[in-house]
Homo-oligomer: A and B are copies of this chain.
Amino acid sequence: MSKLSIILVRPQLGQNIGMVARAMHNFCVQDLRLVAPRDGWPNPDAGPAASGADCVLAGARVFDSLQQAKADCHKSYATAQHIRGMLKPVFTPQGFVEDAHALEAAGARIALVFGPERAGLTNEDVAACDALLTIPSNPDFGSLNIAMAVSICVYAWAVAGGAGTGGSISQPPPAQLSGDELGLATAQQVDGLIAHMAEQLDKRGYFYPPARAQALRLTLGNIMRRPGFSAQEVQTLRGIVRTLSKSPQS
């Protein structure tokens, strides 16, 4: 189980708490802590917005102060849009992940702290944390929805993986599916297709004038050898050429 805790300080809307829970569960982060939620807890708006992440809401704990909420955590990162001139380390989400995963792998519990929707964390809240996390954004429109800010952070955390997360999110797929599994065409199959096309084109005077014939054949080969056709697709293309070579039905 991930040793990352998400702490929401004085959250306002139950709907946002629910969406935060959903984002957490999407990326296998389970521990939600609420400091003095404005409308109390439980909040009836949270459940529908969580869209099934009920386990996170059910496990959420409520604290009177940020200090109490992060008492058992070894390092806390305050999220803030502006850096506020404090003498603390400032991380981007990627930098946070690198810093915190190393600590988590050594057994530390990490707190990621978010402020109220309208105003964000107070300077006092930020001062109580060990470091700052800021999400680079549009300088003219930098206020992120709290659930989206949580999403970006827990996604980065989960993708970075590491021993501490239990490897529980699905592995990133390869950039391209394996050719063997999916039956990529062999060069021979593709060459057969090209020869078939060339034969039918030649019958119709495509390779004309003779001075251009070689260039036209090269172009045809280049196009049809574009990587990635499956054997099945080559069969389909041959069927297409066969069909096109017939006279139209009247």
Contacts and interface: CB of A to CB of B under 8 A. Distances in A.
B89 A175 contact: yes
Copies of this chain, whole number:
2
Contact of A145 (B22, B159, B206): B22
Contacts of A155: 93, 135, 152
Contact of A246 (B99, B204, B233): B204
Interface in A145-170: 145, 147-148, 151-152, 155, 158-159, 163-170
A169 B204 contact: no
B249 A236 contact: no
Interface string A206-250: 100000000000011011001011100100110111011111110
B26 A141 contact: yes
Contact of A241 (B92, B173, B244, B246): B244
Nearest to A203: B248
B168 A200 contact: no
A220 B240 contact: yes
A177 interface: yes
Given A87-B230, A229-B226, A136 B172 contact: yes
Given A147-B145, A148-B147, A175-B90, A138 B83 contact: no
B137 A26 contact: yes
A4 to B, nearest CB: 14
Interface string A64-105: 000000000000000001110101111111110001000000
Contacts of A201: 240, 243-244
A182 interface: yes
A29 to B, nearest CB: 9
15 contacts: A83-B173, A87-B233, A90-B173, A90-B174, A92-B172, A93-B155, A134-B167, A136-B169, A136-B170, A138-B169, A139-B167, A200-B244, A200-B248, A201-B240, A204-B246
